Amino acid sequence: MGVLRSLIIKEIRQFRRNPFMPKLVVMFPIAIVLVMPWITTMDVKDVSVGIVDYDGSDVSHKIISRIDASEYLELNSIYQDYPSALEDMEDGRVDAILEIPDGFGRSILSKPEKLSVWSNGVNSLKGSLGSQYLMQTVMQCLKDIRSSKGLQIPEGLIETTNLYNPTMDYKHFMIPALMIMLLVMIGGFLPALNLVSEKELGTIEQINVTPVNRFVFTLSKLIPFWIICFIDLGLCMTLALLVYGLPVAGSVWAIFLAAALFIIVMSSVGVMIANLSDTMQQTMFIMLFVVLSFILISGLMTPVESMPEWAQKVTWFLPPTYIIKIFRIVYLKGASVAELWTDYAALAGFAVLFCILAAMTYKKRG
């Protein structure tokens, strides 16, 4: 224990003297909570709409004023004909075009004529979500007109209700997942770089010719980062509550338990990569590849359900999939460890597996 203690004291001294690291571990959680949720939001705002009004009736004017009033839609301009609207879309000034056909106003009370919507697929997210907002706005408007005339609501009108994230605030959805980025960086990336820096600087050569056990040495590298991980996670959760009013719906301990298991996984991955590389550059590139795959395939940014089937199967083998699920459900819905035991078990399994791999990749001597 005395050796581990001196090794950790050494690590803390080196950490404090590093001109960059102490700033990083403070700025990172703050950026994750204060900046990232605004950037990674999938909410589409200010969808620019162009309207081709062949009708010119009372009804079409109502639709136009409703679009103009919408929070998400922004009325760009009203066109004489479709080609001039298309021209603006080609220049990127319009995200979606609504065409109101001639005689639409008269047909509304009997058998409505078809409305047409074109969306700009260049920014597919804005185009597709934007045109959906547009259709919803128009449908709502038509519904109001018909019901004021004592008519029934047209069939097939989609009514959406959002559960668990009642305001459907994308930030609330992203914050728990972004906290996992923090664990990946501080629990995995930094210890890996720290370990390999001893190789690169040659200091490992001196340490190897001492009675210091390699396991104790590695542990001394990990423990400071584990502590930082938990402090930063607590900081993130506090900031999320203070800034966004987002409390943990479930138990805070459920979050910390999942985080602890996941940190072991990430640290082992980091140690494994550090064992296999000789330079910081190698470690950086391999780690970057791993982290990017984790972020893109594990459902942090895009829902797993909308991935192709083979990719969904790949997500089963990625540890972040489970912690992202746990964090989101515990945070937003408030599930307990018992309800999510399969996901906790999967994380624990990965922790054991990667620990073994990390131990196996350590080469004692050349």
The residues of the shown chain that bind another protein, judged by CB under 8 A, are 2-3, 6-7, 10, 13-14, 17-18, 201-203, 205-212, 365-366
Q: Which residues contact 24 (CB under 8 A, 6 or more apart)?
A: none
Residue 114: exposed, middle, or buried by beta-carbon count in 10 A (0-12, 13-18, 19+)?
exposed
User: With respect to another protein, which residue has the nearer C-beta, 17 or 149?
Assistant: 17
Nearest distance in Å: CB 364, another protein:
8
User: With respect to another protein, which residue has the nearer C-beta, 147 or 203?
Assistant: 203
Nearest distance in Å: CB 4, another protein:
10
Q: Is 190 helix (H, G, I), strand (E, B) or coil?
A: helix
- Which DSSP category does 209 fall into? T
- The CA–CA distances, whole Å, from 296 to 7, 35, 181, 286, 288 equal 36, 20, 12, 16, 12
Nearest distance in Å: CB 2, another protein:
7
Residue 52's DSSP bridge partners are 79, 99
Nearest distance in Å: CB 119, another protein:
56
Nearest distance in Å: CB 212, another protein:
5
Nearest distance in Å: CB 217, another protein:
9
Name the CA dihedral angle for 187, 189, 194, 200, rounded to a multiple of 10 degrees.
160
- Which DSSP category does 48 fall into? E
Q: Could you please report the per-residue DSSP string of 293-323?
A: HHHHHTTSSS-GGGS-HHHHHHHTT-HHHHH
Pairwise CA distance, residues 223 & 227, whole Å: 6
Closest among 164, 178, 185, 98 to 137, alpha carbons compared: 98
Nearest distance in Å: CB 203, another protein:
5
